[in-house]
Structure 1
Amino acid sequence: MATTESEPAQTSAGRGGGLVLVCLAGMLWGTIGPAIPVVHDASGLSPLTIGGYRAFFAVVVLVIAAAAMRRLRACARLGRLHWRRVTVVGVATATFQLFFFVAVLWAGVSITTVVCLGFAPVLLLITGSVRRRRPPSAGQFLTVAVAVSGLLLVSVFGSPAGEAQYPVLGVFAALVSGAAYALSAEAAAPLSLRLDTLTMTTTTTCVAAMVLVPAGLVIPLSSGDGIWTTDIGSWAVIGYLGAVTMALAYALLFTGLRTTPSGAAVVATLLEPVTAVLIAVVFLRERLTVAGVVGVVLIMAAIGSLGRHSKEPAPQ
């Protein structure tokens, strides 16, 4: 009897711990958006180049960690064994990051982070309903309606006129980023139960880097942009972005996905826009209009309610 009663408590504790790890990942990601324009202004590097160097630093950190733990052969073997899903997670992650970085410069930090992470859980809700062939409940419909209303307020009326370079294209890039993020979380959930955290993070990050590094070098070169800087501060920030917001943050996310459904995990990472908006307002002097503020509140309320509506089991 004691064992039977303790199992739910352990499961609850495990899921709670998983959500905490995902929330920590979200907070770390919240520092990415504000860091991009800082590096761009100081170095002149494009967001694609910053993303490529960030991925390179992340791979270096993860490979060193895997070598120190004597896991390099295991990473290669298990990566080959699960290559299809590893590839999907890695490519989706790269797509998410590429479009996110571009959207930040086009639409601003606040708009990009809110639209991207606001769209992802809504998309997971819709696709989950289609997959289960069961329509969402009335509460879930209301959640989607509130989220879409918030997205419209933020994307169309969120920032004062003239502050965003390409507002429409920026919002579109943020939506593509959010869709890729949703796909990566959905694909990573079952894989996180088959691979240990270091193996999964290393293999999927290596795949992502295979997309991000060439894109960060070839595309800027073809357009005449520089791909190098002598600014030491910029390299320090890029190193932080790779080691902390990619290598460490994704390790936290993948560990959390072991006990947290992908939809709930995406909801938990809503701490990213909260963190990013606070940093942007305090340090980067970005402003949101009243409509933008209302949109942010609506999105946060909608995404927060998704966690209460979700009844999906932990990923299998």
Structure 2
Amino acid sequence: MLSNRVTFLLITAITPMLWGTTYVVTTELLPPGRPLLAAVIRALPAGLLLVAITRRWPSGSWWWRSLVLGTLNIGAFFALLFVGAYRLPGGVAATVGAIQPLLVAVLSTALLRERLSTRTVVAAIAGVFGVSLLVLRADARLDTLGVAAALGGAVVMAFGVVLSKRWASPAPLLATTGWQLVAGGVVLLPVAYLVEGPPPQSFTFANLAGYAYLTIIGSALAYALWFRGLRKLSPTDVTFLGLLSPVVATLLGWLVLDQRLTAAQVVGGLIVLTALLTAQLKKKTPRPPAVASRLAPSAPVAGRC
């Protein structure tokens, strides 16, 4: 029978696997050149849907906390991800983003007082190397601004993940998820308009199907599972699961888009999975020693011979 921790890990792993389908959905169903519009539609309608279902708005400090978390986890992250993807080949952006588990581990040590183990550091470095084999190409070009944006995206989401754990919300999970999605979408909305202009006047059925999938499955469901995992698990454990996203994207490119799968990519995928599993290993907590009073003779009581 699976332990509670393994069950939560398996359920949370669904999220990065769903995020791994974003590339195929975007390239095959959505209008070209509108990644920020896709980000807004992923976040804002999904957030409003969850708020409508739960019928609960933030109160007190959770107004500004929701804004901060929504900006870090969604608004700023999506915007920086767009800049990195626009100025860099996808493989470079994904490789830079793979540093996120290491960032989360370091931040968890500073903000949550979690212990940073050597195994976690080695697994994080191996994960970056595996992702580079999986998605990086020999002719990939580097761009300073693009690398900075991709690194910035990893940093802001790392802060968002750790703060999501530090700030335990008293509200139901779906409500908290909805608040962050609304906040992220509101932050993204003016950015998308200034960068990409007004949305197209009409959408095809394929466009609408793609947006519906990203809104309901890629955001409402995926983020609810993600934040549920953060409530139950260590941020470091959860963020390592994000390495599954490029693995799924590569497999779908091979299965759906007929892209070539090389031996180096297979090795990279195996390294990523090994790093992910290694990071989840936990040392067994030693059993406490027997209480001394149970083993040693009773001490004499004062006043007795």
TM-score by length of 1: 0.74
Determine whether 1:53 maps to 2:41: yes
For 1:98, give the aligned amino acid.
Answer: A
Work out whether residues 36 and 104 of structure 1, in 8 Å CA contact, stay in contact via their aligned partners in 2: no
Match for residue 150 of structure 2? 174
Deviation for aligned residue 1:148: 4.8
In the alignment, residue 82 of structure 1 is paired with which amino acid? W
Matched, 1:20 2:10: yes
Q: Which of 151, 155, 159 lines up with 2:137 in the alignment?
A: 159
Query: Counterpart in 2 of 1:232?
Result: 205
Cα pair 1:267 1:303 within 8 Å, conserved: yes
* Distance in 1 (alpha carbons) for counterparts of 2:81 and 2:258: 20
Decide which moves more: 167-176 or 120-129: 167-176
Percent identity of the aligned residues? 25
Name structure 2 gaps, 5 residues minimum: 285-305
Letter in 1 for 2:219: M
TM-score, normalised via structure 2 length? 0.77
Q: For residues 148 and 59 of structure 1, do their structure 2 counterparts lie closer, same or farther at Cα, with a shift above 3 Å needed?
A: closer
Q: 1:88 to 1:141 in 2, by over 3 A?
A: same
Note closer, same or farther for the CA distance 1:38–1:246 as it changes in structure 2 (3 Å cut): same
In structure 2, relative to structure 1, the CA distance for the partners of 1:201 and 1:138 (3 Å cut) is closer
* Residue 276 (str. 1) matches residue 276 (str. 2): no
Q: Which amino acid aligns with 1:26?
A: P
- The answer to whether 1:254 aligns with 2:227 is yes
The 10-residue stretch of structure 1 (100-109 or 186-195) with the greater mean CA deviation from structure 2: 100-109
Distance in structure 2 (CA, Å) of the matches to 1:220 and 1:15: 43
Report what 1:120 is aligned to: 100
| Corresponding residue number in structure 2 for 1:92 | 72
Aligned to 1:264: 237
Change (3 A) 1:106 1:235: farther
Counterpart in the other structure of 1:62: 50
Kindly provide the CA deviation profile for residues 147-176 of structure 1, in whole angstroms up to 9, marking residues without a partner as x.
454466567xx2253xx6877655544333
Structure with the higher fraction of residues in helix conformation? 1
Q: Which moved more, 1:183-192 or 1:195-204?
A: 183-192
Residue identity opposite 2:17 in structure 1: M
Question: How far apart, in 2, do the equivalents of 1:240 and 1:125 lie?
Answer: 32
Does the aligned pair in 1 maintain the 2:119–2:279 contact within 8 Å? no
- 2:185 paired with 1:209: yes
Q: Match for residue 5 of structure 1?
A: none
Amino acid at match of 1:49: L
TM-aligned CA distance change 1:80 to 1:288, over 3 Å: farther
Bigger Cα displacement from structure 2, 202-211 vs 93-102:
93-102
Residue matched to 2:280: 307
How many residue pairs were aligned?
284
Determine helix, strand or coil for the equivalent of 1:284. Answer: coil
Question: How far apart, CA to CA, are the structure 2 residues paired with 1:159 and 1:190?
Answer: 38
What is the rounded CA distance, in whole Å, between the counterparts of 2:3 and 2:131 in structure 1?
34
Q: SS of the residue aligned with 1:195? A: coil
Shift of 1:91: 0.4
SS in 1 for 2:28: helix
Contact 1:146 1:302 in 2 (8 A): yes
Q: Distance in 2 between matches of 1:165 and 1:243?
A: 35
Equivalent position amino acid for 2:67 in 1: T
